[in-house]
A = this chain, B = another copy of it.
Amino acid sequence: MDTEAVRSFVRAAELGQFQHAADELGVTQQAVSKRIAALERELEVRLFTRTARGVELTLDGQAFLPHARSIVAGVDRAVTAVRPGSRALRIDVLGLRSAQAVVLHDYWRSHPETDLDVVTLKVDDPHVAAAAVQAGDIDASFRTVTDPATLPRDVQMIHAFDSPLELLVGPRHPLASARTLTPPQLRKLRIWVPGIVPRSEWSEFYDQLATAFDLRIDAAGPNFGNEVLLDALADSADVATLVGARDRYIWPTNHDLRRIPIVNPTLAYPISLMLPRTNPHPGLRAVISHFASLTPLPETTWLPSWATTPRRSAGQT
């Protein structure tokens, strides 16, 4: 099916005449006629009744019209999603199940008219993401560099929101039935956080966290994916892991894993957004102000060192 034919169908249906639709589309009336005929042949159904004054939709044509509109709209959105210059807002997240993606999804649900594309750079280094922001390949990225001085001149990093941590344990774990936990209760616990890139901001975060509360966080070991990790948790009586409260996880029901909030103090990972310092995408403003509507964390929340310097509010661009 040719989307130009669908577009012709929609315009012809709206205008009631092939001729007008043809003029508007910059082709001859015969071309529109052939396009419609091709559609009708493909669908094995008559879409218009031809009259002397133009055309009129058949019942099948009426039924087809809204779907045709949706196809055309989809094509237009698809084109604007990649058209350089005036393209849809494109934001890089670490993973589609991360808290960042969840918050973005929240935003989109409350602003469904936004043309928003969520992508994932297949790289670990936040500086690569910063370069992609600078180059305009993406409009913003939920990445963090612990030293803002290492950012390109044209890229700024603002605080987006803080993601509180929860302990994820299997049913046989001694803490499995706790309603909440405090950091001291996590001491000497085997906490396994695989897949952390050495010398990344995440490894530094866990280092600081382990030091601050005397925790035993095992960040080494290869990452075989979430399924393997969740399997291991479900079977184990002593291994736990940390996840963001907003992170989305799929666990088969038989896994029966529990998420346990950590309080007094709450432990949180500060999520930042990198965006161009000049001419950011106009749609970013609304996304950023959406962060402010997230429920704030308690004043006593623990944060890593690079976030304890006076935090900038999230309202600015």
Contact = CB atoms under 8 A, between A and B. Distances in A.
A78 B73 CA distance: 13
A63 interface: yes
A93 to B, nearest CB: 11
A214 B68 CA distance: 49
Interface stretch (A54-62, A150-158, A232-240, A253-261): A54-62
Contacts of A292: none
A82 B45 contact: yes
A interface residue count range (under 10 / 10 to 19 / 20 to 34 / 35 or more)? 35 or more
A117 interface: yes
The residue among A66, A132, A137 with the most chain B CB atoms within 10 A of its own CB is: A66
Interface string A36-49: 00000001110000
Nearest to A88: B63
Contacts of A63: 81-82, 87-88, 90, 117, 119
Interface string A63-86: 110111011001101110111100
A43 B79 contact: yes
Interface of A: 1-4, 43-45, 56, 59-60, 62-64, 66-68, 70-71, 74-75, 77-79, 81-84, 87-88, 90, 117, 119-122, 132, 137-138
